[in-house]
Chains A and B, each alone.
Chain A
Amino acid sequence: MRSEDRHPCAETESRLSLWVDGDLPPEDAAAVRAHLAACASCAALAAELGALRDQLARLPAQALPPGLAGRIRRQAEAERLLRRDRRRLPGRPVWAAAAALILLAAGLTWQALPPGAAPAPDRAGQTAGHALADARHEYQYALVFLEAHAAGLLPLAPDELRQPIQAEMAQLDQLIENQERAIAGGLATTQTWESLMDVYQCKVELLALFLSTDAG
């Protein structure tokens, strides 16, 4: 090949895929066509690329492996149920705000009381009861999540599993902190202590389960 012919061949070669796909503007396509008429090697290359494209387009697609579609559908259903259960619970920010308000109200009531007056025991008990209910919600949700993962219904990557469980544990920590604050503020009743013990128990069990997964 003469040196002055190399450039047209290289130029044509870089545009051959576009040419065989019909993606070149008309004037460029005409230039390529003219070159191919005069250059047997570029014409052969164009024919090969065209044949390759046609063969790739005709590669047969394999059917889904047996059982895969069913497995995906079951997993999707498990996720849908989990999300539905999640929606039934009050939103976490609402819980946190409610718990904070209850504790704040309890604290203000306590401070507003004349010296020597005792807080209403039912109010303190109610606060502890709310905290315990919150902790149980958090714990149950996390538990369902972990169990679904363990049963292979939610094949999540460790990071994907770690994130929601850590969020649940952070909520439990918040509840523990709130209960401890209530105790430090002198609002403790027997129920407050029992509630705190239960929340700690939830956290310990959740932590144990979490550590037993690949995300832990």
Chain B
Amino acid sequence: MNAMPALNSTVSLVMESFPRPVPDRSEDMNLVDRIVRGEEGAFAELLDRYGRRIFNLARRMCGNATTAEDLTQEVFLLLLRKIRQYDGRAALATWIHRVAVNRIISEFRRQPPVAEAADDDAAPFRGVSTAPGLHRRLDLEAAIGQLPPGYRAVLLMHDVEGLRHQEIADILDISVGTSKSQLHHARMQMRALLQGETP
């Protein structure tokens, strides 16, 4: 007796009864429509919502606040030019990160990043502590700056920005498995750097 057809039809019935939730992008689409229409304040709203995140991502990716300012400016003008291309298939935040990360990485390729802090100032990283005080934060920021760009991007997006692996995979055009694996390698390198080991 073959029970599989019955099981399959039961599964199909259950799937139909509980369809995968479709993310609500109406708020994102509404903001995009308002920007496309040139509504006053709409672009400023986009900037308020994502400007700080993109600036901090750029700052940590390139380790230099001045370059990060320039990149943030470029990214938002780029977003304005491309905004009609947003179709709501991904969350607006994911789409914005994709534009930003691509722009930042292309800047990396054009001109390797130069950290603002002088190299001779790079004291050995202090050991792991549980309280992320000022020193610890500085150590963390310095260690992030020493990661290879690919690891750095995944670590920043997952651990600092709180994006999910699926979103990171979409943004970087990599598989979810690669994103997970790069995150683990990035954390292991962070740990080594914080213990004073060279990467």
Footprint of B on A, CB under 8 Å?
14, 16-18, 23, 45, 48-49, 51-53, 55-65, 68-69, 71-73, 75-76, 79-80, 84, 154-155
Contacts and interface: CB of A to CB of B under 8 A. Distances in A.
Interface stretch (B3-11, B64-72, B90-98, B117-125): B64-72
B38 to A, nearest CB: 6
Contacts of A71: 73
B132 interface: yes
Nearest to B131: A55
A59 B134 CA distance: 10
A52 B51 contact: no
Interface of B: 38, 43-44, 47-48, 51-53, 55-56, 59, 65, 69-70, 72-74, 76-77, 80-81, 128, 130, 132, 136-137, 140-141, 155, 159-160, 162, 165, 180, 183-184, 187-188, 190-191, 194
Contact of B72 (A14, A53, A57, A68): A68
Contacts of A62: 52, 55-56, 59, 65
Contact of A72 (B47, B81, B128, B141): B47
Given A23-B165, A69-B44, 5 more contacts: A57-B159, A59-B137, A61-B53, A71-B73, A79-B81
Contacts, number: 95
B187 A49 contact: yes
A195 to B, nearest CB: 34
Contacts of A84: 38
A72 B76 contact: yes
Contact of B51 (A18, A56, A59, A72): A72
B137 A18 contact: no
B55 A16 contact: no
A58 B141 CA distance: 12
A65 B55 CA distance: 9
Nearest to A15: B184
A17 B162 CA distance: 15
A95 to B, nearest CB: 23
Contacts of B73: 68, 71-72, 75, 155
B155 to A, nearest CB: 7
Nearest to B128: A48
A199 to B, nearest CB: 30
B76 A76 contact: yes
Contacts of A76: 43, 76-77, 80
A58 B130 CA distance: 12
Contact of A64 (B51, B180, B194): B51
Contacts of B141: 59
A25 B77 CA distance: 42
Contacts of A69: 44, 47-48, 51
A155 B73 CA distance: 9
A72 B76 CA distance: 7
A76 B48 CA distance: 14
Contacts of B191: 45, 48-49, 52
A79 B162 CA distance: 32
A71 B73 CA distance: 8
Closest 5 pairs (CB-CB, A-B): A17-B184, A56-B159, A55-B132, A61-B56, A72-B76
